[in-house]
Structure 1
Amino acid sequence: MKKENGLTAGVSEPEQVAEFMQNLEHPLASTVHYLREVILGTSDAIGEGIYWNTPTFYYTGPMQPFNPKDYKRYLVNFNLFKQDSVRLIFLRGTSVTNAGGLLEGDFKDGRKMALFSSAEDVKAKEQYLKAILTELLKTADN
């Protein structure tokens, strides 16, 4: 039987993310750190771990069994390939009804993304980011 990882089991793994963040070399590292604080500060039900080689945030509450490919527990992860912005990828982004214009992209698999250019940019959009995360948390176990 395959052992569940933190994401599928809903168990936060902050030590993994702390190590990643400590070793992060990115021009917008301070923005990444601030985004992490905002995401984790949205709810105690948000956990974190390193999946897809980047910090990933997910719902840690109880859930009925589901197909892991449905990404029901998944909230958001970082995409740090661009050097002039930080992208957040929401795999269930198309399910969000009130994104305040923050989410963009038209991907067939349901993803949406949000771009941030600085910590000030995050602060300006923080209420929308928290609203998106809160909505995704509410629908995580449906």
Structure 2
Amino acid sequence: MAKSKLSEKEQVTEYIQKLDPSLAETITFLRQAILAIDGEISEHIKWNSPSFYYSGDMKPFNPKEYKRDILVMNLHRGTTILLVFPTGAKITDTSGLLEGNYPDGRKIAKIKDLDEAKSRQKDLENAIRNWMGQIEK
């Protein structure tokens, strides 16, 4: 019997299970916090990392604008987790969570460990809620 294709959620779970346990614990915490913000936030593997996107209805747009992508985790830089917001420049963030002034409009949040993830949870939630408030439906 052929193995059935994993769902997007199962693909993310499988990805996390292959990580170092302390990194996996931090990623799992962030994952749960992000998904709890809104029922229209979904997850999948994009650019070889866990990523979160808006799954609700939107006005048509050019896919190169990444209007549906909320954030992509970059886990390829050692122990620091980079949360890359492809359209982060449009987010109003007064907490200092989002860093960078990239020409393509992205912003990045750096999370070193579970303690930092927990201490920045509200800032992350506020940034994502701000992003979601700007969705063109």
How far residue 80 of structure 1 moved from its aligned partner, in angstroms, is 0.4
- 1:29 CA drift (Å): 2.2
Where do 4+ consecutive residues of structure 1 move more than 3 Å?
A: none
Mapping of residues 41-60 of structure 1, within 5 Å: 41-60=36-55
The alignment partner of 1:129 has SS state of: helix
**Higher RCO (C-alpha under 8 Å, 6+ residues apart):** 1
TM score, norm. by length of structure 2: 0.88
Provide the secondary structure at the position in 2 that maps to 1:139: coil
Q: Which runs of 5+ in 2 are unaligned?
A: 1-6
Separation in 2, partners of 1:138, 1:95: 11
Coordinate RMSD, CA, aligned = 1.6
Residue of structure 1 in register with 2:4 after alignment: none
Structure 2 counterpart of 1:93: 88
Between the aligned residues of both structures, percent identity stands at 40
SS in 2 for 1:136: helix
Query: Which of these residues, 63, 88, 106, is aligned with residue 68 of structure 1?
Result: 63
List alignment gaps of at least 5 residues for structure 1: 1-11
Aligned residues: 131
CA contact (8 A) 1:54 1:79 kept: yes
Distance 1:58 1:46 in 2: 6
Letter of the 2:104 partner, please give it: D
Given the two structures, how large is their TM-score scaled by the length of structure 1? Answer: 0.85
